[in-house]
Chains A and B, each alone.
Chain A
Amino acid sequence: MAYSERAKLIFVCGGVRSGKNAVGETLAADMRKEKGRLVYIATAQRTDTEMEKRIIKHQNDRERKQEGWVTLERQRNLSECVKHLNKQDTVFLDCLTTWLSNEMFTENVEHQMHHVFDQIIKTIDYLRDASSHVIIISNDVFHEPVPQERLTKHYIKTLGALHQYVVSQANAAISMEHGLPIIKKGEVVSERAHRMGDVL
């Protein structure tokens, strides 16, 4: 498929409670195509009741906005989502951090670790080929001493490489600082998302 047909890619990254989802969801709603849906790809696993509550809260928040979100729950192998997408859809991927840990820290996959990076960037391309916009949310976990435990270190290194790759490919990249979206790359056309810094 020609590159021009690839979905626009937007990257939103920040710390915990930085407002990345709120800004990302606003962008998604504003960029949504007339015939397209808002497709939320949720990668979180329902591991305990707190996580369950968190997921339900996010779902309720989206429903309350009545923007017609569709949720796909998928922990790994996100290329499976492609068959549920239409080219007009806006995809909101929450989030790269969890997706990578799901891919890396499953049983018996250690031998595949080197392939995880390639597999994820390929999957992002598949998602872009199948939609009109892809918004990827991720966490900034790079501002502390890197843990020396082998798997954790490998995880952070891979996540850093993925962030660099996504930013290099992105049409727009946003660093979230305490609710304020800081545009690091490209232009963000949503007036609403720009103003959110004041509102949140």
Chain B
Amino acid sequence: MQFVTGGAYNGKKKWVSQAFSDQLQKEHLWFSCYKQDIKKLPAKVEDDSKFVVIEGVEQGLRSFLKQQTEADAFIENYLTPWLDWEQQEEERELILIGSDISKGIVPTEREMRNWRDETGRLYQKLTNEATFIHFIWFGISSTYEGGNKDEIVYKNR
């Protein structure tokens, strides 16, 4: 799994479209949590897709938290099946895209605070789980190895 993050409107989706254009030309699943409720996320691909993108994981988590308070269940219900799917075949690749919402003023509403906290915790887990993490800054990526290895693998591109 590769985790793509960065601020809102920084061009994360566009970057993924360009960086993985070969994979996206073939059969794939692109699920946007901005367009559909996370509940609609399929549990598997019906066709021979080897490439799955889940965009807006923070939004998916937010709508999930409106019904459930246990954030770990979000990973279990929605992400673990896809992480397992990826493991089953060498060529399979899972991309998760999430906006960084961690650096503003502490929100006054409890729901917003909780969502922000849980998104932070989720991203730490994703970063730990990912083979690569890509930080997107207005279209420019900085790529690091996941698993908390503090090492620059690629230069900015």
Q: Do A and B bind each other?
A: yes
**Alpha-carbon gap, A18 to B107, bound state (A):** 22
- Complex interface: chain A residues within 8 A of B101 (CB): 143-145
What class of interface size applies to chain B in its complex with A? 20 to 34
The dominant DSSP class at the A interface is: mixed
Question: Which residues on A are within 8 Å of B, measured CB to CB?
Answer: 13, 15, 140, 142-146, 156-157, 159-161, 163-164, 166-168, 173, 175, 184-185
Known contacts A163-B138, A173-B138, A184-B156, A144 near B105 by CB under 8 Å: yes
Interface residues of B in 102-124 (CB under 8 A from A): 102-105, 107, 112, 115-116
CB A151 to nearest CB in B, in angstroms, measures: 15
**Please, could you name 19 A-B residue pairs with CB atoms under 8 Å apart, sorted by A?**
A140-B7, A142-B6, A142-B8, A142-B10, A143-B7, A143-B101, A145-B107, A145-B112, A145-B116, A159-B9, A160-B11, A161-B9, A164-B10, A164-B11, A166-B138, A167-B139, A167-B140, A184-B138, A184-B156
B129 adjacent to chain A (CB < 8 Å)? no
Q: Measuring CB to CB, which residues of chain B are less than 8 angstroms from any residue of chain A?
A: 6-11, 14, 99-105, 107, 112, 115-116, 137-140, 142, 156
Q: Chain A nearest CB: distance from B139 CB in Å?
A: 5
Complex alpha-carbon distance, A173 and B141, angstroms: 13
- Compute how far the CA of A157 lies from the CA of B107 in the bound complex, rounded to whole angstroms: 20
